[in-house]
């Protein structure tokens, strides 16, 4: 379904001006009022077209306690209504937020007009906070068409539809306040649209639409302590994720197997790299694609498949849209020299414990914050075993534990304690310290910083 709207770009630009003139008492009659009446008519037409495609969602609660005991789709989750939008009226497919349907197998769906039905969760993706619900339909339902979120501009007018505080079919109006918002700590893959269209609890999962009635985002959250700051997941991401859920029941993503962080100004200056470009590899997971391809701690990734990388969040998104098993070329800097390394990506989801460590910032401490075991009689000189880790040190924050064995520092295999001490002594203040460690017969890399 595509909502027809008679807005022209010229009218969209003049709308705020005419509203201002109207409020000032200048445009109460004549062409100004006639134009505003036309605008009002178009907004009413837009509401009539898009509101029937928006539904209310809540966990399905069986009608009697005995039935609920035998069949437990509810799983003890409290009722928490949200919204959803129909993207395929023939197949009864609804897209919403993952947190709206979390821990529920069945969902009560309230259609426009009040009719209730029960849907099933086809799949959800917590990393983007998206999910797809399907209901049985006798006749095709109204649905929205996807718009292209890549073409959105700050200042563009949008409408949000949802069920704030249980007030079904509520429509609000505003503009796009910002694009490509990340580090909001709402999900793993962040590339949010910021809008001042009023979004409240109950709008989660509802659509953000342009003036043509096309879906440009899924409303996902608000900042509780601020006014007029809401976030929506871009429609291009919604389309990609929902299609995978519909086809596979889950999302398949590429996995590189490195820990990453922003390139510090000190390191950027050292390798003559413009600030804000690239990401630094601070750990490489043993046995994963990056390690197999020869990537090293200290490498700076500049591009993936020709796409520039300028932040950890952007790199995570780039890798996440590449299919597992596909080979991509990484443009990197190693010791100031450019290299291109092909890497065959694995499947994200196989190493959840490692994935939690993907992006960990370096925290500077006056020293490494570790104490080595004293060499006992007959001990092998090369065995540098960590005795203790200073609480609050960067070593502790990076996950180093007593009993870990240091195998290499800054790419040099350690053959004696004296060699280790010489390497550490030669590292300048603020310089990176890249460690190869052994724990439980598994090798892994971590990065620290020396302050003095």
What is the pLDDT, as a whole number, of residue 367?
55
Torsion angle of the four alpha carbons 80, 58, 113, 90, in this order, in degrees rounded to the nearest 10: 140
Encoding tokens for residue 264? 């510090």
DSSP class of residue 441? T
What is the pLDDT, as a whole number, of residue 94?
96
Instruction: From the candidates 99, 125, 196, 311, give the one annotated as an active-site residue.
Output: 99
What is the pLDDT, as a whole number, of residue 69?
43
What totals of helices (H) and strands (E) does the chain contain, helices first? 11, 26
As a whole number of angstroms, the distance between CA 317 and CA 289 comes to: 17
- In the residue annotation, 187 being an active-site residue is answered as no
DSSP class of residue 373? P
Encoding tokens for residue 295? 């990537």
What is the pLDDT, as a whole number, of residue 133?
95
What is the pLDDT, as a whole number, of residue 201?
66
State how far the alpha carbon of 111 is from the alpha carbons of 47, 55, 118, 423, in Å.
15, 5, 11, 67
Taking the chain (452 residues) in consecutive chunks of 10 residues, what is each chunk's mean pLDDT? 42 51 53 76 86 88 58 42 90 92 86 90 89 93 93 91 70 86 66 81 83 91 64 91 90 86 84 86 86 91 91 84 89 92 84 44 51 60 77 76 86 77 74 82 77 52
DSSP string over 332-372: EEETTEEEEEEEE-EETTS-HHHHTTSB-----BSS--EEE
As a whole number of angstroms, the distance between CA 187 and CA 111 comes to: 28
What is the pLDDT, as a whole number, of residue 87?
95
**Domain extents in the chain:** 1-251, 254-355, 370-449
- In the residue annotation, 56 being an active-site residue is answered as no
As a whole number of angstroms, the distance between CA 301 and CA 318 comes to: 12
Instruction: From the candidates 177, 187, 204, 311, give the one annotated as an active-site residue.
Output: 204
Per CATH, the number for 254-355 is 2.30.42.10
Q: Which CATH superfamily is domain 370-449 in?
A: PDZ domain (2.30.42.10)
As a whole number of angstroms, the distance between CA 119 and CA 140 comes to: 16
Instruction: From the candidates 129, 196, 288, 346, give the one annotated as an active-site residue.
Output: 129
Asked if the domains at 1-251 and 254-355 fall in one CATH topology, the answer is no
The phi, psi pair for 410, rounded to 5°, reads: 50, 40
What is the pLDDT, as a whole number, of residue 328?
94
Please, are residues 210 and 149 in contact by the beta-carbon 8 Å criterion? no
Encoding tokens for residue 404? 């870990």
- In the residue annotation, 204 being an active-site residue is answered as yes
What is the pLDDT, as a whole number, of residue 143?
94
Which of 3.30.200.20, 2.40.10.120, 3.30.230.70, 3.40.50.720 is the CATH number of 1-251?
2.40.10.120
Encoding tokens for residue 426? 């030669």
What is the pLDDT, as a whole number, of residue 343?
94
């Amino acid at each position: 379904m595509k909502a027809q709207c008679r807005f022209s770009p010229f009218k969209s630009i003049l709308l705020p001006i005419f509203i201002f003139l109207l409020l000032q008492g200048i445009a109460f009659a004549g062409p100004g009022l006639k134009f505003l009446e036309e605008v009002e008519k178009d907004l009413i037409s837009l509401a009539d077209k898009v509101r029937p495609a928006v539904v209310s969602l809540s966990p399905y609660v069986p009608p009697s306690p005995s039935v609920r005991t035998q069949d437990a789709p509810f799983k003890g989750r409290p009722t928490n209504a949200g919204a959803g939008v129909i993207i395929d009226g023939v197949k009864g497919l609804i897209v919403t937020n993952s947190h709206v349907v979390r821990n529920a197998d069945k969902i009560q769906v309230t259609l426009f007009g009040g009719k209730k039905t029960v849907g099933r969760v086809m799949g959800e993706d917590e990393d983007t906070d998206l999910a797809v619900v399907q209901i049985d339909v006798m006749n095709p339902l109204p649905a929205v068409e996807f718009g292209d979120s890549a073409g959105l501009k700050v200042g563009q007018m949008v409408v949000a539809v949802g069920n704030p505080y249980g007030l079904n079919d509520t429509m609000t109006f505003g503009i796009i306040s910002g694009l490509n918002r990340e580090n909001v700590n709402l999900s793993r893959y962040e590339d949010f649209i910021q809008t001042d269209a009023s979004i409240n609890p109950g709008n989660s999962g509802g659509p953000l639409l342009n003036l043509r009635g096309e879906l440009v985002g899924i409303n996902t959250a608000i900042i509780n302590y601020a006014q007029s700051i809401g976030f929506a997941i871009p429609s291009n991401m919604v389309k990609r994720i929902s299609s995978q859920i519909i086809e596979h029941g889950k999302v398949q993503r590429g996995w590189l197997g490195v820990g990453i962080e922003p390139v510090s100004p000190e390191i950027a200056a050292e390798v003559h790299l413009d600030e804000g470009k690239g990401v630094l590899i601070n750990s490489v997971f043993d046995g994963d694609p990056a390690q197999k391809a020869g990537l090293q701690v200290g490498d700076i990734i500049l591009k993936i498949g020709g796409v520039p990388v300028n932040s950890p969040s952007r790199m995570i998104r780039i890798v996440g849209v590449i299919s597992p098993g596909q080979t991509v070329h990484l443009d990197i800097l190693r010791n100031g020299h450019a290299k291109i390394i092909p890497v065959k990506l694995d499947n994200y989801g196989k190493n959840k414990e490692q994935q939690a460590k993907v992006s960990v910032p370096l925290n500077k401490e006056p020293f490494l914050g570790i104490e080595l075991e004293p060499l006992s009689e007959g001990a092998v000189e090369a065995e540098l075993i960590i005795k203790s880790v200073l609480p609050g040190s960067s070593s502790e924050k990076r996950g180093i534990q007593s009993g870990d064995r240091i195998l290499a520092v800054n790419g040099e295999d350690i053959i004696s304690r004296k060699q280790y001490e010489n390497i550490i002594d030669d590292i300048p203040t603020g310089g990176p310290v890249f460690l190869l460690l052994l724990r439980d017969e598994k090798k892994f890399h971590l990065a620290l910083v020396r302050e003095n």
